[in-house]
Structure 1
Amino acid sequence: MDVSLVRILICLIAGIAVIVLLTAKFRVHAFFALIIACFLVGLGVGMRLNDVLTTIKDGFGNILKSLGLLIVLGTTLGAILEHTGSTKVMANTILKIVGEKYAALAMSLTGFIVGLPIFCDSGYIVLSGLNKSLAKSTGISLAIMSTSLATGLYAVHCMIPPHPGAAAAAGIISVDFGRLMLTGIMIAIPAMISGYLWSKYAGKKIPAQLIDAAELIKGNQRLPSVIKAFMPVVVPIFLIALKSFFIVEPGTASNRINMYLMLGDPEIALAIGVLFAFNTMPSFKKDVLGPLLQEGAEKAGGILVIIGAGGAFGAILAATKLGTHLSEALPLASLGILFPFLLTSIVKTAQGSSTVAIITAASIILPLLHALGLDTDTGRLLCVLSMGAGSMMISHANDAYFWVIAKFSGLEMKTMLKVYSLATVCMGLTALAMVYIVSFII
C-alpha cells in the first residue's frame, strides 16, 4: 500500500477531529469514537475493509493482553479502599503530621497518596467532605483547599500506572512499568507542588465560603488503623520499586531470586495490595465483598474497552507507515520529547479527557519514535512521561473532572478557571521541565 504523506495526514486529522467532536460535543463514549476513527483512517488511506477489521482486532487484543489484569486489580484496590474509609485515615494522618496551619498542603499530599490507587474523580468525591470540614475549621478559602486536593490527585492520575492513560501509553510504546512508576513519582511531586503553590497564590483573594454543617464528613464509620490503611498502597509500590533496582540477566538467577523478583511484577504487586486491602474490611460478609469486587470489575471494563480501542487506533496508524513518511519529510529529531507533550496537550485541551488524550497521542507517536530519536528504552520512558505532562494541560469546562471539583466544592466557573484550570497549566509546564531534567540524568 503506497499512500502519500498528505493523504495520510488528512485522514489522521479527520480521525482526531472525529474523536474530539464525538466525545466533547456529542458525549459519545470514547470506545465508539476511537473505533469509528479507526475505520475512517484505515479506509481513508486505502486499506481493504477486511484488513482494517483484522488490524483493529489485533491492536485491541495486544494491548489488553498486557494491561487487562493491571487495570482490573487497580480498580478493585481503589474500590475497597474507598469503601473501608482507608482514604480518610490517610488524610487524617497526613493532617496530624503537617498541622492545621498547612491544611491545604496536607490535602495536596493526601490527594497524591490516595490518588496512587484511586482515580482522581473518585478520590475527590471521597475526600470532599473532609476537605470542606477543614476549610471551615481553619478559615482557609475553599478555592485553595479544593484546588490543592484536586491537583494532588491529578498529578498521579496523569503520570503513574495503574491509571489508565499512563498504563495504556506504557503498553502501546513498550515501557517498563516499574521504571515508569518510580520516575513518574519523581516528576509528579514537583507538578503537585506547583499546583499547590498556584492555588495558594490565586486563591488567597477569594473569601472563604460558609459551609452547611450537614455537608461535613460523618464520623460514625468504623475505620481501619493507620498501618492497615497505608499498607495496600505502600507495599505494591515498594515491591515494584525493589524489582526495578535489580537487573538480572535471563537464566542467571536462582529459583529463589526469581520468586522474589516475581513479587515485583505490577500485576503480582497489585494483587498483594488487594489482599492487604481486604485486611482493612471489618467483615467479609458476602453482601459487602461481592458488590465491591463487582464494582472493581465493572469500573475496569469501561476503562479497558477505551484502552483496547486506543490500541486498535495505534495499530491502524502503524499500518499506514506514518512514521516512515514523517521521518523523511520533517526534522522531528530536533523536537524530541517536546513533540509528545505538544500533541497530547492539544488533544487534551480540545476534548477534555486526559486518558483519551494520552492514548490517542501514544498511538500517533509509536511509529514516530525513531524519527524523534526516542527509540530506546530511556527514550520511550521519556516519551510517556512527556505525554503524561501534556495530558495535564488544560483542564477546563470540557473535562468531567473539572465539573466533579466544581460540584462537590461549590465553586463558581470563574473561580474554577482562575484557580484550578491555570493550576493545571503550571503543573503541565513543571512536569515538562522535570522530564527535561530527568533526560540529562538517566
Structure 2
Amino acid sequence: MINLAILLLLVVGIVLATARWKISPFLALMGAAVLGAFLYRMPLAEIVPTITESFGGTLGNIGLVILFGTMIGVILERSGAAIAMAEGLIKILGTRFPNLTMSLIGYIVSIPVFCDSGYVILNSLRKAITVRTGVSALATSIALMTGLYATHTLVPPTPGPLAAAENIGVTNNLGMIIAIGLPVAAVAAVAGLIFASLHSRKEFTPLPAETETDISGQSYEELRASYGRLPNGFLAFFPILLPLVLICVGSVVKLPSQPIGDGTLFDVVAFVGTPVIALALGLLSSVMLLRGHGKLARFNEQIYDSVRLAGPILLITGAGAAFGGVLAASPLTDFLSDNLSGLGLGLAVPFLIAAALKTAQGSSTVAIVSTSAMLAPMLGTLGLDSTEGMVLAVLAIGAGAMVVSHANDSYFWVVSQLSRIPVATAYRTLTLATAIEGLAAFVTIWVISLFLL
C-alpha cells in the first residue's frame, strides 16, 4: 500500500502546487519526478539519467510536431483563415441552425488552434449569428464552447493528445488516433449541441462589459475588417486538412496487409505521412494565407510568437514524461500489476484519473500529460497494451480531461466573460455541458472498445 500512498501524495502535491499555489506545472511535475524518485528509493545513480532520458526522449519524438502544429494554429489565427473557414461553413449551413453552425465551426477550428484562442477569434461571429437569428446567446456560447473543446482534447495535432500518445507509446499510430478521435469528438460535440439547444430560448442578464474597448463589444464587421482581405476558403482549410490526410494515409499504408506494397511508392507515402513531415508540409502550405507587403516579416513574427507559445507546452510535456519515467522505474509498476489485474476497470482508469486531475487543477493539457505519464506502467495490467488498447487509452484520457471546466480553468473564464455570462449561470450551463460532453465521449470510446479489444 505504501507505493500507492506515495503516488497519491505526488498527485495531491501536483494539484496543490498548480491550482492553489499557482506554481508552474513544469516545476510541479519536475518536482514530483525528483521527489518520487527519492520516495520510491531509486538508486541515486539512476535518478538523473531516468529523468533526463525520459524528458529528452519525449521532446525528441514529438517536440517538432507540437511546434509545427502551434505554428499552423498561429498563422490561421493571425491571417484571418479561422474567420474564412467560419464564413465558408455559414455559406453551406446558412443561419437556420445557429447552434449547429457554431458547434461545427468550433469542432474544425480547434484541431490546430487552442480552444481559448478559438473562442476569442470566433466570439464576434457568434454574436453576429445570435443577433441575426434571435436565438439565445447562452445557447450559441455553449455550442461554440463544446465544439471547440471536443477536438481540443481528442484530436492531434493538438498538444495534449500528442503528448499522451508519446507517453503511452503509440505515436506511430497517430493516424488511428485521428481516425477514431474525429468521430468520438463528433459525438461529444453533438452531446454539447443537444444541451445547447435546450437553452435556445433561455435568456439571462448579461454582465456589463468591463471597459469600453472590451473585445466582447467588437462587432463582427469590425473584426472581419481588421484582417483586411480574407484568405480563400479552400486555402484556409488546406493547412489543417493536408497533415490530417497525410498522417491517416501514412498509417493505412503501414497496415500488415500492405495495401500499396513495399516499394518506392510505399517509402514516399510513409515518409510524407510521418507526423513531423506532414505538419511541416501543412506549415509550408499555410504561407499561402499571408497576403500583401511585408509577408516575410509577418511570417517571421508569427513564427517567433509560435515558439513563445509552444515553449511552456513543450516543457510541461517533457516534465510529464520525466514523472512517468520515474513511476515506470519504481516498484509501483509491480504493485499495480498485482492489485489491478483482476478488477476489470480497463478504460475507466484513464478516464477517471484524467477527470479527477482536470477538475482539481483546471488545465486539460496538464491533466492529459500527467495522466498518460502515470498510466504508462499500468497498460498491461489494465489490458490496454495492444495498439488498439493504447489508442483508446489516449482517447479515454482526452475524454476525462473535459470533465469538468469550472473556476480553476482559464477556458471557463474566457467563455463566460466574453459571452458576459454570470458565474452562477456559467456553472449551471458551461460546467454541466463539459461534464455531459466528456461522459458522452467516454461512453462512445467504451462502445468502440467492445469491437476492438
Give the TM-score of the pair, scaled to structure 1.
Answer: 0.95
1:38-437 matches, within 5 Å, as 38-175=33-170, 176-202=173-199, 204-207=201-204, 214-217=217-220, 218=222, 219-220=224-225, 221-247=228-254, 253-283=262-292, 284-332=294-342, 334-437=344-447
Cα distance in 2 for residues equivalent to 1:291 and 1:67 = 23
1:160-213 deviations in Å (ceiling 9; x for gaps): 112122111100111111111111101000000101111221453224859999
Cα distance in 2 for residues equivalent to 1:71 and 1:83 = 18
**Mean alpha-carbon deviation: is it higher for 212-221 or for 223-232?**
212-221
1:112-138 deviations in Å (ceiling 9; x for gaps): 111111111111111111111222222
Cα distance in 2 for residues equivalent to 1:368 and 1:321 = 12
Cα distance in 1 for residues equivalent to 2:273 and 2:343 = 35
Cα distance in 2 for residues equivalent to 1:19 and 1:332 = 29
Change (3 A) 1:425 1:203: farther
Change (3 A) 1:117 1:312: same
Change (3 A) 1:366 1:207: same
Cα distance in 2 for residues equivalent to 1:340 and 1:34 = 18
Change (3 A) 1:203 1:397: farther
**Mean alpha-carbon deviation: is it higher for 89-98 or for 302-311?**
89-98
**Mean alpha-carbon deviation: is it higher for 72-81 or for 271-280?**
271-280
1:43-100 deviations in Å (ceiling 9; x for gaps): 1122244432221111101111111010000000001001110100111111221121
1:156 deviation in Å? 0.5
**Mean alpha-carbon deviation: is it higher for 88-97 or for 307-316?**
88-97
Cα distance in 2 for residues equivalent to 1:7 and 1:207 = 51
Contact 2:136–2:203 (CA under 8 A) maintained in structure 1: yes
Give the counterpart letter for 1:222 in structure 2: R
User: What is the total number of aligned residue pairs between the two structures?
Assistant: 437
1:11-30 matches, within 5 Å, as 11-30=6-25
**Mean alpha-carbon deviation: is it higher for 101-110 or for 260-269?**
260-269
**Mean alpha-carbon deviation: is it higher for 171-180 or for 321-330?**
321-330
Cα distance in 2 for residues equivalent to 1:296 and 1:330 = 42
1:208-244 deviations in Å (ceiling 9; x for gaps): 8599995212232210111111111112111112222
Contact 2:358–2:367 (CA under 8 A) maintained in structure 1: yes
Contact 2:30–2:319 (CA under 8 A) maintained in structure 1: yes
1:422 deviation in Å? 0.6
Contact 1:345–1:391 (CA under 8 A) maintained in structure 2: yes
Cα distance in 1 for residues equivalent to 2:423 and 2:310 = 31
1:341 deviation in Å? 0.8
**Mean alpha-carbon deviation: is it higher for 263-272 or for 198-207?**
198-207
Other structure's SS at 1:394 match: coil
Give the TM-score of the pair, scaled to structure 2.
Answer: 0.92
Contact 2:340–2:382 (CA under 8 A) maintained in structure 1: no
Contact 2:249–2:269 (CA under 8 A) maintained in structure 1: no
Change (3 A) 1:246 1:333: farther
Contact 1:323–1:371 (CA under 8 A) maintained in structure 2: no
Contact 1:322–1:368 (CA under 8 A) maintained in structure 2: no
1:397 deviation in Å? 0.7
Contact 1:343–1:390 (CA under 8 A) maintained in structure 2: yes
Cα distance in 2 for residues equivalent to 1:58 and 1:168 = 16
Identity of aligned residues (%): 37
1:287-325 deviations in Å (ceiling 9; x for gaps): 311110101111111110000000000001011131211
Structure 1: tracts of 5 or more residues without a match: 1-5
Contact 1:159–1:185 (CA under 8 A) maintained in structure 2: yes
Change (3 A) 1:334 1:214: closer
1:345-384 deviations in Å (ceiling 9; x for gaps): 1111111111111111111111111111111111111111
Other structure's SS at 1:100 match: coil
Cα distance in 2 for residues equivalent to 1:137 and 1:196 = 19
Change (3 A) 1:58 1:419: same
Cα distance in 2 for residues equivalent to 1:394 and 1:374 = 25
Give the counterpart letter for 2:243 in structure 1: P
Cα distance in 2 for residues equivalent to 1:362 and 1:321 = 18
Cα distance in 1 for residues equivalent to 2:373 and 2:255 = 31
Contact 2:254–2:270 (CA under 8 A) maintained in structure 1: no
Change (3 A) 1:54 1:93: same
For the aligned residues, what is the CA RMSD?
1.9
Contact 2:98–2:129 (CA under 8 A) maintained in structure 1: yes
Give the counterpart letter for 2:103 in structure 1: S
